[in-house]
Structure 1
Amino acid sequence: MDTTTAEIVLFDGVDELDAIGPYEVLENGARAGAPLETRLVTLEPADLVTASHGLRVEPDGTLGEPDILLVPGGGWTTDDGGVRAVVNEGALADAVAERFANGATIASVCTGAMVLANAGVLEDRPATTHAVAMDDLEAYATTEADARVVDDGDVLTAGGVTAGIDLALWLLEREFGPEIAAAVETEMEHERRGEVVS
């Protein structure tokens, strides 16, 4: 079986758990036997990324052509960084649109959905995000306010922060089988909440 590549894109002001939660889940999936390689990446070369709570993260490299591209959130309600700055700048949305056009599965956690919205990949699709951005998301997608994870095939979205763990567990289950996901869920002592909306 070919190895699936997953990349989680980082940017200054990203919420730590939005990125690191799914990263740990996916890495644990690989340790449990999933043919999966997960990388933390940036759009442009960077030695360190400073996240929303001050954690400094060293990325593995720059965005490539992954099978799965995950966009975390953070900073939508501020004007000085995070998703709001990334959306205003536009380059990440362009990169998401390009990867999507090339066949990548696109996923978001929390307000990362606003990057997907600006990339044009949520049009006429069900989607969710953090409660603080739900009204903004409604301009781009059919929102699922009560959903923790929404799976629309090649586009997946998750609610706020800890929902990224559930999203990553669902990706493991969907792509590599329920046994892998269950093993990771047990190891991490995490119990998923709610059903996946698809």
Structure 2
Amino acid sequence: MATEIAVVIYEGFDEMDAVGPFEVFSHASERGCDLDVSVRTLDTADRVTASHGLTVAVDGRLADADPDLVVVPGGGWNDRADASAWAEAERGDLPDAIADLHERGVTLAAVCTGGMLLAEAGILDGRPAVTHASALGDLRETDAKVVDARVVDDGDVVTAGGITSGLDLALHLVGRLCGESVAEEVATAMEYERRGEVYET
């Protein structure tokens, strides 16, 4: 049975936070890793506009999926923009949905300031985590245990630093799900040199 992965996006998400992991998982699937990756939103939407203007088509609502793993991108946190991770944290619906997923046993992976949405949901309380360097001060104000690492793997919760760290997070997860040989094949195909040690609990 395929591992269902949902990348949840919202207005103002950072493009690479979402598209980078999506591409890694897609490459892994093409190499025999049994993954089914989709792009989801909380509310019904055909398209979502990212922080740098890219418009992305949506596969459906998160509530209509049954994911094993949900990837939460960041975007616009420090700008406090109306369309951003900050706005989603203030609105509260996405953190609530994330908390519900976690209670149901879904593994969560956050890229960049997507980690702040997990913190807002209370999921990082007492747990090691990381986020974009520019938001580490905000993360330290929560009950998370901030770790100096590119990727932090705490089992059912995995967080990564800023933007391109999402590639390392996704490759690490491919290694967990399908083996390191597949992860290395994907990194080679994408001509990406993996960076930083993964902090694992």
Indicate the TM-score class for this superposition, using the shorter chain for normalisation: over 0.9
Once the two structures are superposed, the pairs formed by residues 2-151 of structure 1 within 5 Å of their partners are 2-63=1-62, 64-79=65-80, 80-138=82-140, 139-144=142-147, 146-151=148-153
Aligned length: 196
How many angstroms does 1:150 deviate by? Answer: 0.2
Q: Secondary structure, in 3 states, of the residue corresponding to 2:198? A: coil
Q: Is the 8 A contact 1:109 1:157 kept in 2?
A: yes
Q: Distance in 1 between matches of 2:114 and 2:145?
A: 16
| 1:96 to partner: Cα distance | 0.5
Counterpart CA distance in 2 for 1:161 and 1:124 is: 24
Q: Which ranges of structure 1 fall in alignment gaps of 5 or more residues?
A: none
User: Which amino acid is the alignment partner of residue 176 of structure 2?
Assistant: R
How much has 1:140 moved relative to structure 2? 2.7
> Partner letter of residue 115 of structure 2?
A
- For 2:71, the aligned partner's letter is L
Q: For residue 193 of structure 1, what is the aligned residue in structure 2?
A: 195
CA contact (8 A) 1:104 1:154 kept: yes
2:8 maps to amino acid: V
Shift of 1:65: 2.7
2:174 — aligned with what? 172
Conservation of the 8 A alpha-carbon contact between 1:93 and 1:116: yes
The 8 Å contact of residues 110 and 129 in structure 1, kept in 2 or not, is answered as: yes
1:9, CA displacement in angstroms? 0.5
Q: What is the identity, as a one-letter code, of the residue corresponding to 1:134?
A: L
| Identity percentage of aligned residues | 51
Q: CA deviation at 1:81?
A: 1.6
